Amino acid sequence: MARVLIADDASFMRQMIREIIEPEGHEVVGEATNGIEAVDLYNELQPDLVTMDIVMPKRSGIDAVKAILAESPTACIVMCSALGQETLVMEALQAGARDFIVKPFKPDSVISTLKKIVEKAD
């Protein structure tokens, strides 16, 4: 099971991810509400995995991915994308994000994606 940092400016989405993954045994160690916080909290908490929204204030999710991976090349980051963000998802994956989950979240899909990434990282 993984220590997870959730980065999303919407409380709605942060709570939903938490509610989906905690029963699976994952521990949410932090929540970031913008891209700057995401990078800072990653460096402070060193989570096993980050769920990263793409559209966030102050610093985009993609910029945050690039900043985290520049310092921590093995960081496991999963993008949270929405309809119409295919190009941005591709950019994030090319930057080094491991995978993506799509809003609206389907709990089973979120769980299986995180499970796959955690198993690969082990």
The residues that touch another protein, with contacts defined as CB under 8 A, are 9-13, 15-16, 19-20, 23, 55-57, 82-84, 103-105, 107-108
Q: How far is the CB of 92 from another protein (least distance, A)?
A: 15
- Considering beta carbons, is residue 18 or 69 the nearer one to another protein? 18
Q: Would you say 24 or 40 has its CB closer to another protein?
A: 24
Q: Which is nearer to another protein, 38 or 75 (CB)?
A: 38
C-beta separation of 93 from 8 below 8 A? no
Dihedral sign of CA atoms 28, 32, 33, 38 in order:
negative
Shortest distance, CB of residue 35 to another protein, whole angstroms? 12
For residue 90, give every residue at least 6 positions away whose Cβ sits within 8 Å of its Cβ, in sequence order, or none.
none
Q: Nearest approach, Cβ of 72 to another protein (angstroms)?
A: 27
Least CB distance to another protein at residue 12 (A): 5
Handedness of CA 79, 82, 83, 88 (dihedral sign): negative
The two structure tokens encoding residue 81: 């994308």
Question: Residue written as tokens 């995978």?
Answer: 99
